[in-house]
Chains A and B, each alone.
Chain A
Amino acid sequence: MTSRSARFRVASGVLSRGGMRALAACAVAVVSLHSLEAAACGCFAAPTVVDPVVQAGERIAFSVDGSKVTAYVQIQYTGSATSFAWLVPVPAVPEVKVGTDELFEVLDRNTRPQLSLLTTVAPGCGPSGPVFGCGAAASYAVNRGEGGGPAVGGNPLVLRDTAGPYDYAVLKADSKADLQQWLDDNRFFVPTTSDAALAPYVRPGAYFLALKLRPGQTAGDLRPIVLSYASTYPMIPLVLTSATAVPHMGVQVFVLSEHRSIPRNYHHVQLNPLKLDWATAANYGALVTAAVAEAPQKHAFVTEYAGSSEVVRGQLLVAAQYGAARFGVQSELGQQPTPAAFVGYLVSYAFAPPTADTGGAPLPAALLNLVEAQVPYPPHFAEHGVTREQFFADLTRYLSSESQSAHPDWYAEWPGAHYDGPALAASVFESYVQPIRDADAMLGAHPYLTRMFTTLSPEDMTEDPVFAFNASLPDVAAVKSATRVTGCNGVATTFSAEGYRVDDARLTQPRKDAMPAAAVVELLGEEGPAQTVSRYAPEADLMAMAGGQGCAVAEGAFFIGLAAVWLVVRRRKLA
């Protein structure tokens, strides 16, 4: 039985005037409950808010401007630099630039799903009896504790260039044999398992972008790559990714556009809030995997946020802790007289990401790599217990002649510093600051942001997800809310979330285990509302009204009560 049918049963029983009076009295009680919930005196505790921590194997941020798609791809890789290569199909010869990890930090931080659990008590119920008031805070604490917390012939090369730490090539995709021969000849490592996965993308007029790290770069130098190309719909080449994917690999997609983005050829699922661990969010990732598995072909996305991009705009260029603009002025940076002063300027002007504690935290590796080109970290410092970060944090000391005289063995094989302030400042602004400014401009140029997530195993990566847009779909808040109302004296403790309201005592782990992980499996089209494929309805005995425990726990009772009051008043007027 759904809550709607329960409500209907109560309403249909209201036939006599006496019955209506009784319901009217009940409505007053419900109004009181609503008044209680509206009060901010601490009668209910502040909600617990937890963030699910889910590691995405692939993170992509798209921006779409008419017929141009820009993709920021965060490359996650562990292994040797010489073994690193990345191959991606593109519909046209792309512009290739280096991006910034800060973009993903800002996107993630401001749109990450949050589970907010509000715990309160029913009227007349308290932690130690029928006590009203702020004592409910103790109940909150207890409950939280219980929760647990163009090439010619066979040469496919179109162009070859470098971008940041990368050596890249754009290759024609006319012939798989030619493509693989070129990749082999030029030492672009491609897993042999990707041979079959390449097939759907090999065709005349198509291109591949191949990336590898330039000599001297390490896997730690990997930075997001930015591709811009002519296309209408963003797409992720998951079939190709399957060659190197791991089971249940997380795929995180951000889309900046005019309207809400949707998976065009994948289903959309909404998580079952009754299965979520609202106290710790520890099962969030597993629940996404399970919900996606309930969609046909295990092809589905969850929308974690859909709404204004205002939540991320302007944040890349402002140091929150100072409320001031970052980066200072290039010419000022270049005029710093010593490497120590140069690094000091980087710290003072918040070149580190805004969330970092720039008061003592090391500057990001991408930035130190640039400084290190002129001021190398002495190769023997590590064996004497001085880390790279410590070295750059105290250059005055470590570059002094006193230090070099006192520990000549520490400086063995060290080529020395060759500081050129203006050149280093130019390098920093071109390679480090400009990508952040570009990313900020992208965030500011699109009014809408959609965040979607899925997990996929290699065997399920059989179709590339394509993303489209629908202006008529509602926003999706990052914060999901639930409420647990502790009852007593025959009033059941209820748990409400995302449209469900159930008897908390009956929401046992075995019951949760038996429930579907997806509350809703649906199709999202480019026009009109979602089309529901399946929707979970809790069993009748799980509903909060079970046992007839009074109006205080009935979903919609407030409105039924109001209707009853209106009927009583109307009848009296008619009389």
Chain B
Amino acid sequence: MKRAPAMVVIGLAGALLSGCGVPPKQGADGGGAGGGGTAELALGTAQTDGTGFVEMPVAAVLTPGAQGGFHVWLSYRVRGTSGAVKAAHTVRRESDGKLLSRGERRLEVGAVGEGGWWQSDTATPAFLCPTPLGVSVIDEHAVFEVRLLAEDGSELATQQVKTQLVCPADGQAAFCMNICKG
């Protein structure tokens, strides 16, 4: 009986630390501005050539990459901070939390534009295919999470978006189905 209060405290502390049940703040720019820190981060995708900022669609067509693989572009908008930051992303399959991809990119947050947002010139490819062995991404829902980190590693903002991953319907379809099936 004496252990129960302690367990409750530990459980609550764990829940708070993990941030469970706290949805990211949604911004007005489609991708949503993520909280969790001192800055705001909006997360979207890009045009096929990797430029621009486009709201992440409900279903994202996998984009052929330059080395015979497929990816989804991640485009960032940032406000509330400036200078060198790092954007670290993970992609997980929603059904089971399997890690599909991770990566990071240094950004130099400079002059802001409309709404006080700074936008990256080029998008970041979230590499997905070839997938890890045994992990198919075809028609799967995936959760993209990006953490914006200061140079000292402290978290400035975090954001998540979800989309369904689909292979292109063009001549790349068969190749995509082959290397994205896990």
| Residues of chain A whose beta carbon lies under 8 Å from any beta carbon of chain B | 66-67, 89-92, 173, 200-201, 203-207, 231-233, 235, 237, 239, 264-267, 463-464, 466, 468, 523, 525-527, 531
Contacts and interface: CB of A to CB of B under 8 A. Distances in A.
A89 B66 contact: yes
A254 B126 CA distance: 24
B130 A200 contact: no
Contact of A237 (B68, B105, B106): B68
B127 interface: yes
Q: Which 5 A-B pairs have the closest CB atoms?
A: A91-B66, A206-B66, A232-B103, A265-B130, A200-B68
Contacts of A204: 48-49
B156 to A, nearest CB: 17
B179 interface: yes
Nearest to B106: A66
Given A67-B106, A90-B67, A200-B68, A265 B50 contact: no
Given A67-B103, A200-B175, A239 B68 contact: yes
Nearest to A265: B130
A95 B104 CA distance: 20
18 contacts: A66-B105, A66-B106, A67-B103, A89-B68, A203-B66, A205-B50, A205-B66, A206-B64, A232-B125, A235-B68, A264-B130, A265-B131, A265-B132, A265-B133, A265-B179, A267-B133, A464-B130, A526-B132
Contacts of A201: 66-68
Contacts of A92: 66
A265 B67 CA distance: 14
B105 A67 contact: yes
Given A91-B125, A466-B69, 10 more contacts: A91-B66, A201-B68, A232-B103, A233-B103, A233-B127, A264-B130, A264-B133, A523-B132, A525-B98, A526-B132
A89 B66 CA distance: 7
Most buried by A among B64, B66, B105, B172: B66
Contacts of B82: none
A392 B64 CA distance: 53
B120 interface: no
B132 A264 contact: yes
B124 interface: yes
Contact of A91 (B67, B99, B104, B124): B67
Nearest to A531: B134
Interface in B27-52: 48-50
Contacts of A233: 103, 127
Contacts of A200: 68, 175
A463 B179 contact: yes
B68 A468 contact: no
A452 to B, nearest CB: 15
Contacts of A67: 103-106, 124
Contacts of A464: 67-69, 130
A239 B178 CA distance: 14
A194 to B, nearest CB: 14
Interface of B: 48-50, 64-69, 86, 98-99, 101-106, 124-125, 127, 130-134, 172, 175, 179
A526 B100 CA distance: 9
Contacts, number: 86
A89 B132 CA distance: 21
Contacts of A203: 64, 66, 172
B99 A235 contact: no
Nearest to B131: A265
Given A237-B68, A265-B131, A526-B132, A205 B49 contact: yes
A138 to B, nearest CB: 50
Contacts of A525: 98-99, 132
A527 B99 contact: yes
A466 B66 contact: no
Nearest to B178: A463
B63 to A, nearest CB: 9
Contacts of A235: 67-69
A206 B101 contact: no
A267 B69 CA distance: 18
B131 to A, nearest CB: 7
A233 B49 CA distance: 20
Contacts of B124: 67
A275 to B, nearest CB: 25
A67 B120 CA distance: 15
A205 B124 CA distance: 14
Contacts of B106: 66-67
Contact of B67 (A89, A264, A266, A527): A89
Contacts of B69: 235, 464, 466
A237 B65 CA distance: 13
B177 to A, nearest CB: 13
A152 B16 CA distance: 55
Contacts of A237: 67-68
A200 B67 CA distance: 8
A480 to B, nearest CB: 25
A425 B105 CA distance: 39
Given A67-B124, A203-B66, A206-B66, A463 B130 contact: yes
A523 B68 contact: no
A239 B69 CA distance: 12
Nearest to A92: B66
A545 to B, nearest CB: 36
Contacts of B50: 205
B66 A90 contact: yes
Give the one of A200, A201, A204 with max B CB within 10 A.
A200
B140 to A, nearest CB: 16
A206 B124 CA distance: 15
Contacts of B133: 264-267, 523
Nearest to B63: A205
Contacts of B86: 66
B66 A207 contact: yes
A231 B125 CA distance: 8
A523 B98 CA distance: 14
A523 B132 CA distance: 9
A232 B172 CA distance: 22
B106 to A, nearest CB: 7
A127 to B, nearest CB: 50
A61 B92 CA distance: 29
Nearest to A522: B133
Contacts of A66: 86, 103-106
A562 B86 CA distance: 54
Max count, chain B CB within 10 A of own CB: residue among A201, A264, A265:
A265
Contacts of A527: 99
Contacts of A90: 66-67
Given A66-B105, A463-B179, A231 B131 contact: no
